[in-house]
Chain A
Amino acid sequence: MADPVIGACGLTRRFGNVAALDALDLAVGPGEAVALFGPNGAGKTTLLRLLATLLRPTAGELRLFGRAVADEGAAVRHRIGLLSHHSFLYPDLTPTENLDFYARMFGTPGRAARVREVLDRVGLVGWAHRPVRTLSRGLEQRCALARALLHEPELLLLDEPFTGLDVDAAGMLSDLLRQAHAGGTTLLLVTHDLWRGFELCTRAVVLVRGRLVRDAPIGESTRDEFERTYVGALHAGGSSGPATGG
């Protein structure tokens, strides 16, 4: 049986006395699309940053693709893409130059052809040679998606990727994410937007105060039913602030 893409066991991350993530257990299999919901301060972004190897856990174990992140961070980063509301693109470089830089960093084979291919896929060929700082928010986010997909990651982490996008740009981003998922990429989408989560994902996980309070396939309930149980979970979990302790 294939290793889970994400295997978190007792995963805890504290910032001083505040437990942003508190003994979380989570397993995500290959090809799943998981929506991660929760109020502000629930620990969603902390979880994503731990998965992206940008943070170290305070306690617990995190394995990605069956490998311990603590020991093999660089190796697992090859297989992860992160798309957030920040683009990670250098404003003074063009999309082509930015992608060429990241392709070099990831050791992507056939660099120039691959850069052209992803730019074409996100519909950015016409803007390929303009500095990123001159692009609109929607175009920049499409370029950021091209950066995240450049090395063909098996796990795509999405941290509120629709923030600041207009309806058309958000629709195009949804289509591209659906294509990536159809191609076998595992998705973990952090969002406040229940509609987007339901549209793109097959499983919903709810975090409140750093703890997992609900984990169920999306097909089991309608969006309205989920919204009711989600609101109920927020109240039951006490969403007034992050967990604290010594």
Chain B
Amino acid sequence: MFALLRKDLQIEFRTKETLSSLFLLGLLTLLVLSFAFDPTSDLRGEAAPGALWVAVIFAGVLGLNRSFLAERDNECLQGLLLCPVDRGTIYLAKVVANFLFMLAAQVVIVPVFVFFFNVPASLGLVGVFLTIAIGLLGFSAVGTLFAAIAVRTRAREVMLPLLLLPLVVPLFIAGVKVTGRLLPAKPLGDMAPWLHLMVGFDVVFLVVGWLVFEYAVEE
């Protein structure tokens, strides 16, 4: 698993294609959404969590679309499948690589969000970052599985969001709810069910992905 992860990081450090795409799309999404709301309006604060998660998800879909493109060149995916490792391990390595790329993008996206939406810097931002991390793990778990399926189709750029986005709606809603509570630094007590939903989503889709990846990559 570490060999695979190392290889994905090595290619990314050399090409910087995935991270630069994630940064750019996240920034553009936030920029456009920040202009949609009057800076003096309360609505801006209400909409801020949704805007942040839209940027996270859009950038994430782009990153996932790219994750198996490197494996398509020279049919490298077949080379991977020829290796004497469990195919579930290949899936887990890809999930971790996608998760790390998406999380790295948040290091830029979250501060830009704070700036564009006039969010007061507080400890709540650490909670927001952790919430995004929990959300991205589940997003990466289900997205990696669908990216492996979509990369073999002709309309892969369209296919991935079509398959993925309806499934991650619960994760998205839970993320927006928890972020909306964290930004004004309110108590988290009544957010527990949303957090449980996010963690449960992560666990379920990691297990499902690990079990079915073998069939997803087979013709």
B14 at interface (Cβ–Cβ under 8 A)?
yes
Chain A residue numbers with a CB within 8 Å of B74 are 86-91, 132
Selected contact of B10 from candidates A52, A56, A97, A106, CB within 8 Å: A97
The smallest beta-carbon distance between B87 and chain A, in angstroms, is: 9
A70 on interface, CB distance cutoff 8 Å: no
Minimum CB distance partner of A82 in chain B: B82
The reply to whether B4 and A88 form a contact with Cβ atoms under 8 Å apart is no
- Taking Cβ atoms with an 8 Å cutoff, the residues of B that contact A are 3-4, 6-7, 10-11, 14-15, 70, 73-76, 78-86, 218-219
The answer to whether A56 and B76 have CB atoms under 8 Å apart is no
Nearest chain A CB to B179's CB is how many angstroms away?
36
Number of interface residues of A (CB under 8 A): 29
Give min CB distance, A41 to chain B, whole Å.
16
Distance between Cα atoms of A102 and B6 in the complex (Å):
12
A172 at the binding interface (Cβ < 8 Å): no
Query: In the complex, are the beta carbons of B76 and A88 less than 8 A apart?
Result: yes
Q: Which residues of A contact B80 (CB under 8 A)?
A: 105
> Given A74-B84, A75-B84, A78-B84, do A54 and B78 touch, yes or no (CB 8 Å)?
yes
Chain A residues, CB < 8 A from B83: 77, 102, 105-106
Residues of B contacting A89 in the complex (Cβ-Cβ under 8 angstroms): 74, 76, 79
In the complex, whether A92 has a CB less than 8 A from a CB of chain B is yes
Q: Which residue of A lies closest to B70 (CB)?
A: A90
How far does the Cβ of B42 sit from chain A's closest Cβ, in whole Å? 48
B4 lies within 8 A of A105 (CB): yes
Verify B84–A77 contact, CB threshold 8 A.
Answer: yes
The A31-46 residues at the B interface (CB cut-off 8 A) are none
A122 in the interface, Cβ–Cβ < 8 Å? no
Q: Name A51-104 residues within 8 Å CB distance of B.
A: 52-56, 74-75, 77-78, 80, 82, 84, 86-93, 97, 101-102, 104
Partner of A91, one of B4, B10, B73, B84: B73
| Pair A93/B78 contact, Cβ less than 8 Å | no
Docked-complex contact B3 and A55, CB < 8 angstroms: no
Check B15–A92 contact: CB distance below 8 A. yes
Give Cα distance in the complex from A75 to B84, angstroms: 6
* B85 contacts A88, C-beta separation under 8 Å: no
Contact call B218/A90, Cβ cutoff below 8 A:
no
**Which of B3, B73, B79: most chain A Cβ within 10 A?**
B79
A97-155 contacts to B, CB under 8 A, are 97, 101-102, 104-107, 132, 147
B15 proximity list for chain A (CB < 8 A): 92
Q: How far in angstroms is the closest Cβ of chain A from B66?
A: 13
A54-B77 Cα distance, complex, nearest whole Å: 10
Q: Which chain A residues border B75 with CB–CB below 8 Å?
A: 84, 86, 88
In the assembled complex, the CB of A111 is this many whole angstroms from the nearest CB of chain B, namely: 10
Residue pair B78, A106 in contact (C-beta under 8 Å): no
**Complex Cα gap A93–B13 (Å):** 11
Give complex CA distance A3, B85 in Å. Answer: 24
Which of B6, B70, B78, B84 makes the CB contact (< 8 A) with A88? B78
A145 to B79, CA, bound (A): 12
Assess the A55–B11 pair: CB atoms within 8 A: no
CB distance from B181 to the nearest CB of A (A): 43
Asked if B11 contacts A90 (CB within 8 A), the reply is: yes
Q: A54-B81, A55-B219, A147-B79 are in contact. Are A90 and B7 (CB under 8 A)?
A: yes
Chain B residues whose CB sits within 8 angstroms of the CB of A105 once the complex forms:
3-4, 80, 83-85
- A106 and B76 contacting across the interface, CB-CB below 8 Å: no
With a cutoff of 8 Å between Cβ atoms, the chain B residues found around residue A82 in the complex are: 78, 82
A74 / chain B contacts, CB cutoff of 8 Å: 84-86
> Which residue from chain B places its CB closest to the CB of A144 in the assembled complex?
B74
Shortest beta-carbon distance from B79 to chain A in Å: 3
Please state if A54 and B82 are interface contacts (CB–CB under 8 Å): yes
Question: In the complex, what distance in Å separates the CA atom of A204 from the CA atom of B6?
Answer: 43
Q: How far is B10's CA from A168's CA once the two chains are assembled, in angstroms?
A: 33
CA distance A75 to B83 in the complex (A): 10
Contacts A97-B10, A104-B3, A132-B74 supplied; 13 other A-B pairs, CB < 8 Å? A54-B219, A82-B78, A88-B74, A88-B75, A88-B82, A90-B73, A90-B76, A92-B11, A92-B14, A93-B10, A101-B3, A102-B79, A102-B83
CB A57 to nearest CB in B, in angstroms, measures 12
